[in-house]
């Protein structure tokens, strides 16, 4: 581990978590609480024509059964997935069509199976195909990037280049699967709504729920003290919070709703499958002359979500002729959404696999090939990088991994019945920052208190913000009390886009700087009424100079492929990242290696299997949907460079939540090629793709 920063502060709430003193949303006790269970559509497209809930209502303990015919009307929002129980139309299999509310979870679940719907079915389409004639060009891709970009003349440059490749890479649908399901406890008191909810940003939940129920934001309070993972799937409010609130209002009692693992595969988002064609052209010296990255992916009929899969290709490598495109199929499927590094993660799998193939085509080491195509400024936007240390990451990683002298020939290293290979890929993730507000306060006696509605989704937010505050105040971190996870605290953006520490940290740093200035004005004597600083960073962020701000990294993998079974194991993963200043090495390391292991899962295990006849993901549990088990994880190392970038934020951070998953799958796929000579261009790399039939 390298890099400055306060090293090794463990999670402040760690002890509470392991001693069961850190309640998650569904664990809060509540007198008279009812339990809700969603009922899901069993057709892929059509209209409900009749509801028979008599058997469910007759079950002892059932309090109410809600459907589109009985639920109160809600105000529409931009997210159609939140318009629950508002219409008889069914847009995908597994969509919520009813809600049972009962005295116990068991009764609610049994009754949910007794609600019967008659439908008029319509033909549906649920299979993503590159040749789908109805593919269309969205107005922009998530969140507001240009759909297509173009520079120079790709076609002409590609046609005449001496070295070129043209390959199509596919990634499957993937489901985030945080350990803690989406869960809500909703309680109405008059016209005020109290929510304990599992999400990545309770200010966002507060504002959306208020909008949906026609309330003023201050009538809704959302508490989100601890979250058992989100990975993007909890970035926006999900149907659970709307349903629990609806049911609590309809019954006049508190209502708890925690969705099942199977339901997590239906109505709370996932990563779209992608079909990505990458074309690269170079001269004889290995300098790229043309890059094209054309993406096909899916959205639903409920809400458009256009993953920004090709955006990393816009700034990774120099080439005068280039283009990126995104096309969408609007299918009768659940709406895809954010999953850790949406865009960069699947996109860099394709680009970095193609870069490996192109390095081989050019007869160059993959690191040397990337160095030759290192841009001096952002190659599309023509603006300077605030800092760009990709080359330094590759060199540092190469040294640590033992890359030098690597024999590029594939399929020649054997250890018993295993083929051994190594591979590398680059990582990148943009630096985002959003406006936030914070309050810092001190009384004559007692600790410094910092208030901000940040969210700790298991990442170490509380700990990092405490470190930032203590540093700005010039006091030990034990003297700082941070309060987060409550919408009554100063408004702050959600934990997403790896922007949490940058966004919240800016507000916390500014509030603490102002408080310290006030203390200094009082000659360090704190008046009896105390002192308080209150900041909002909207203006500061608006005045930031335009630059290309990205974190970079390099990942290395060693794989062993069983010659008899095709099984792939990963004894070593090593990543080196240049992500600005690292605030807390302990939690940062956990973020990096966790993401790298998730990248290994993407490379080798994760795949949501769509049965297009039914229109749903059929392997909808953790026995059928594999993520890495402990036994799959070998030696994983994360390192970082001591990167100083003064064009970011007061802390000099770039964000570390997502970059660790970007590039891992390509590094593993490249290592699998090096081991076997087999280039797999469709994830996950299941064993049958590598099965070498013995003679």
Partner 1 sequence: MKSFRYADAPDAQTAVAEVARSSDAKFLGGGTNLVDLMRLEVETPTILIDVSRLPYDRIEELPDGSLRIGAAVRNSALAADRTVRQRYPVLAQALLMGASGQLRNMATVGGNLLQRTRCVYFQDVTKPCNKRHPGTGCPAREGDHRNLAILGHSEACIATHPSDMAVALAALGAIVNVHGPGGERRIPLVGFHRLPGDQPDRDTVLEHGDLITSVEVPRLAFGAHSRYRKVRDRASFAFAVVSIAAALDIKNGIVREARIAFGGVAHAPWRAARAEEALQGADPNEEVFGHAADEELAQARPLRDNAFKVDLARNLMVRTLSELKEAAS
Which residues in 225-264 contact partner 1 (CB under 8 A)?
Answer: 262
3-state helix, strand, coil in the chain (%, to 5): 25, 25, 45
In the list 349, 429, 605, 640, the residue contacting partner 1 (rule: CB under 8 A) is: 605
**Cβ atoms 569, 417 nearer than 8 A:** no
* Least distance between partner 1 and beta carbon 254 (Å): 23
Give me the catalytic one of 72, 658, 682, 688: 658
Using the contact rule CB under 8 A, the part of the chain among 236-244, 272-280, 378-386, 685-693 near partner 1 is 685-693
Of the candidates 261, 252, 329, 344, which has an alpha carbon nearest to the alpha carbon of residue 298?
329
Pick from 153, 532, 632, 682: which binds partner 1 (CB under 8 A)?
632
Phi, psi angles (nearest 5°) of residue 529: -75, -10
The values of phi and psi at residue 687, to 5°, are -60, -30
The window from 121-129, 246-254, 468-476, 683-691 that contacts partner 1 (CB under 8 A) reads 683-691
d(C-alpha 680, C-alpha 610), whole Å: 20
* Chain length of the chain: 695
Q: How far apart are the first and last CA of the chain?
A: 47
Tokens of 655: 């964000």
Structure tokens at 457: 């989704």
Q: Does 418 bind partner 1 (CB under 8 A)?
A: no
236, 285, 590, 649 from 494: Cα distances, Å: 8, 46, 20, 18
- Closest separation between CB of residue 52 and partner 1, Å? 16
Residue of 551, 592, 586 whose CA lies nearest to 573 = 592
Quote the Cα angle for 539-542-545, to 5°. Answer: 130
SS3 for 665?
Answer: helix
CB of 581 to partner 1, least distance (A): 36
Is 658 among the catalytic positions? yes
Q: Is 618 a residue that touches partner 1 (CB under 8 A)?
A: yes
CB nearer to partner 1: give 116 or 406.
Answer: 116
The residue (of 398 and 604) whose beta carbon lies closer to partner 1 is: 604
Pair 343, 311: CB distance under 8 Å:
yes
87 near partner 1 (CB under 8 A) = no
Query: Nearest approach, Cβ of 257 to partner 1 (angstroms)?
Result: 17
Interaction of residue 70 with partner 1, rule CB under 8 A = no
595 vs 597, beta carbon nearer partner 1:
597
Q: Is 42 in the site for partner 1 (CB under 8 A)?
A: yes
Among 613, 635, 644, 646, binds partner 1 (CB under 8 A): 613
Pick from 28, 119, 432, 614: which binds partner 1 (CB under 8 A)? 614
Candidates 619, 647, 677, 678: give the one binding partner 1 (CB under 8 A).
619
Q: Which of 30, 453, 12 is nearest to 255 (CA)?
A: 30
Give the tokens for residue 119: 């439908």
Binding span for partner 1 by CB under 8 A among 81-89, 331-339, 401-409, 630-638: 630-638
CB of 539 to partner 1, least distance (A): 50
Q: Scanning the structure block, which residue is given the tokens 């239906």?
A: 266
* 3-state secondary structure string across 124-175: CCCCCCCCCCCCECCCCECCCECCCEEECCHHHHHHHCCEEEEEEEEECEEC
265 binds partner 1 (CB under 8 A): no
Residues contacting 3, CB < 8 A, separation 6+: 581, 582, 585, 640, 641, 642, 643
CA–CA separation, 315 vs 232, rounded Å?
24
- Residue 179 touches partner 1, criterion: CB under 8 A: no
Q: Judged by CB under 8 A, which of 566, 572, 677, 678 binds partner 1?
A: 566
Considering only 54, 72, 374, 611, the residue that binds partner 1 (CB under 8 A) is 611
Binding mask 93-122 for partner 1 (x = CB under 8 A): -------------xx-xx--x---------
How far is 113 from 67, CA to CA, in rounded Å? Answer: 14
Instruction: Show the tokens assigned to 493.
Output: 């953006």
Which range of residues in 233-241, 359-367, 504-512, 603-611 is near partner 1 by CB under 8 A? 603-611
Q: Are 682 and 170 in contact (CB under 8 A)?
A: yes
Among residues 68, 400, 418, 626, the one that binds partner 1 under rule CB under 8 A: 626
**Least CB distance to partner 1 at residue 38 (A):** 13
d(CA 526, CA 511) in angstroms, rounded, equals 16
Nearer to partner 1 (CB atom), residue 333 or residue 440: 333
Least distance between partner 1 and beta carbon 538 (Å):
46
Q: Of 329-337, 373-381, 558-566, 641-649, which segment contacts partner 1 by CB under 8 A?
A: 558-566
Q: Determine, following the binding rule CB under 8 A, whether residue 150 of this chain makes contact with partner 1.
A: no
Instruction: Please identify, using beta-carbon distances, which residue of 221 and 689 lies nearer to partner 1.
Output: 689
User: What is the enclosing helix (H) or strand (E) of 557?
Assistant: strand 548-562
Q: Taking contact as CB under 8 A, which single stretch among the options 80-88, 351-359, 545-553, 617-625 is the one that binds partner 1?
A: 617-625
> Which contiguous run of DSSP H or E holds residue 512?
helix 500-521
Active site residues: 658
Which residues lie near partner 1 (CB under 8 A)?
A: 40, 42, 106-107, 109-110, 113, 262, 417, 564-567, 569, 604-605, 609, 611, 613-614, 618-621, 623-624, 626, 628-632, 686-688, 691, 693-695
């Amino acid at each position: 581990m390298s890099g400055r920063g306060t090293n090794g502060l463990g999670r402040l709430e760690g002890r509470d978590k392991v001693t069961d003193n850190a309640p998650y949303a569904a664990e809060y006790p509540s007198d008279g609480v009812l339990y809700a269970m969603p009922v899901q559509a069993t057709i892929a497209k059509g209209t409900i024509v009749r509801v028979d809930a008599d058997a469910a209502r007759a079950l002892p303990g059932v309090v109410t059964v809600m459907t589109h015919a009985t639920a109160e009307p809600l105000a529409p929002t931009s997210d159609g997935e939140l318009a629950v129980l508002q219409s008889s139309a069914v847009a995908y299999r597994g969509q919520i069509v009813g809600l049972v509310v009962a005295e116990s979870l068991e009764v609610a679940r049994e009754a949910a199976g007794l609600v019967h719907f008659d439908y008029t079915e319509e033909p549906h389409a649920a299979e993503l195909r590159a040749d789908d004639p109805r593919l269309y060009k969205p107005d922009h891709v998530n969140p507001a990037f240009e759909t297509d970009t173009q520079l120079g003349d790709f076609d002409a440059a590609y046609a005449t280049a001496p070295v070129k490749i043209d390959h199509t890479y596919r990634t499957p649908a993937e489901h985030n699967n945080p350990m803690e399901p989406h869960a809500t406890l909703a309680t109405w008191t008059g016209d005020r709504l109290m929510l304990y909810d599992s999400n990545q940003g309770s200010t966002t939940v507060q504002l959306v729920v208020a909008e949906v129920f026609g309330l003023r934001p201050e009538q809704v309070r959302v508490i989100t003290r601890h979250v058992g993972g989100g990975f993007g799937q909890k970035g926006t409010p999900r149907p659970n919070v709307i349903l629990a609130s609806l049911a609590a209002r309809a019954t006049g009692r508190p209502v708890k709703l925690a969705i099942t693992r199977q339901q997590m595969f239906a109505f709370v988002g996932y990563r779209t499958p992608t079909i990505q064609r990458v074309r690269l052209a170079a001269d004889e010296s290995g300098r790229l002359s043309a890059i094209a990255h054309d993406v096909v992916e899916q959205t639903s009929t409920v809400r458009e979500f256009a993953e920004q899969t090709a955006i990393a290709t816009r700034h990774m490598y120099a080439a005068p002729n280039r283009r990126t495109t995104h096309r969408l199929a609007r299918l009768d499927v659940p709406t895809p959404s954010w999953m850790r590094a949406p865009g960069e993660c699947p996109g860099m799998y394709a680009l970095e696999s193609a870069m490996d193939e192109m390095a081989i085509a050019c007869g160059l080491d993959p690191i040397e090939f990337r160095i030759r195509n290192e841009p001096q400024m952002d190659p599309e936007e023509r603006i300077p990088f605030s800092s760009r240390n990709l080359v330094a990451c590759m060199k540092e990683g190469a040294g640590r991994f033992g890359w030098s002298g690597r024999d590029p020939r594939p399929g020649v290293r054997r250890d018993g019945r295993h083929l051994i290979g190594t591979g590398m890929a680059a990582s990148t993730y943009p630096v985002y920052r959003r406006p936030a507000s914070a309050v810092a306060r001190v009384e004559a006696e007692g600790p410094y208190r910092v208030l901000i509605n940040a969210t700790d989704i298991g990442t170490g937010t509380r700990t990092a913000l405490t470190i930032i505050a203590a540093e700005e105040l010039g006091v030990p971190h034990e003297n700082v009390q941070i309060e987060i996870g409550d919408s009554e605290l100063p408004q702050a953006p959600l934990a997403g886009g790896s922007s949490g520490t940058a966004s919240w940290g800016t507000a916390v740093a500014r509030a603490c700087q102002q408080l310290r200035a006030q203390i200094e004005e009082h000659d360090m004597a704190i008046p009896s009424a105390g002192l308080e600083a209150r900041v909002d960073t909207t203006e500061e962020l608006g005045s930031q100079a335009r630059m290309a701000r990205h974190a970079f990294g390099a990942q290395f993998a060693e794989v062993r492929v069983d010659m008899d079974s095709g099984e792939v194991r990963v004894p070593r993963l090593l990543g080196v990242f240049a992500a600005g200043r690292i605030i807390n090495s302990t939690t940062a390391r956990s973020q990096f290696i966790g993401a790298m292991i998730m990248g290994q899962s993407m490379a080798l295990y994760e795949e949501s299997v769509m049965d297009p006849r039914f229109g749903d993901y059929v392997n909808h549990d953790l026995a059928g949907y594999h993520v890495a088990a402990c036994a799959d994880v070998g030696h994983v190392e994360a390192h970082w460079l001591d990167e100083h970038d003064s064009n970011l934020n007061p802390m000099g951070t770039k964000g570390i939540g997502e970059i660790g998953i970007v590039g891992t799958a390509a590094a593993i796929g490249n290592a699998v090629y090096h081991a076997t000579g087999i280039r797999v261009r469709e994830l996950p790399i299941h064993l049958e793709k590598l099965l070498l039939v013995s003679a």
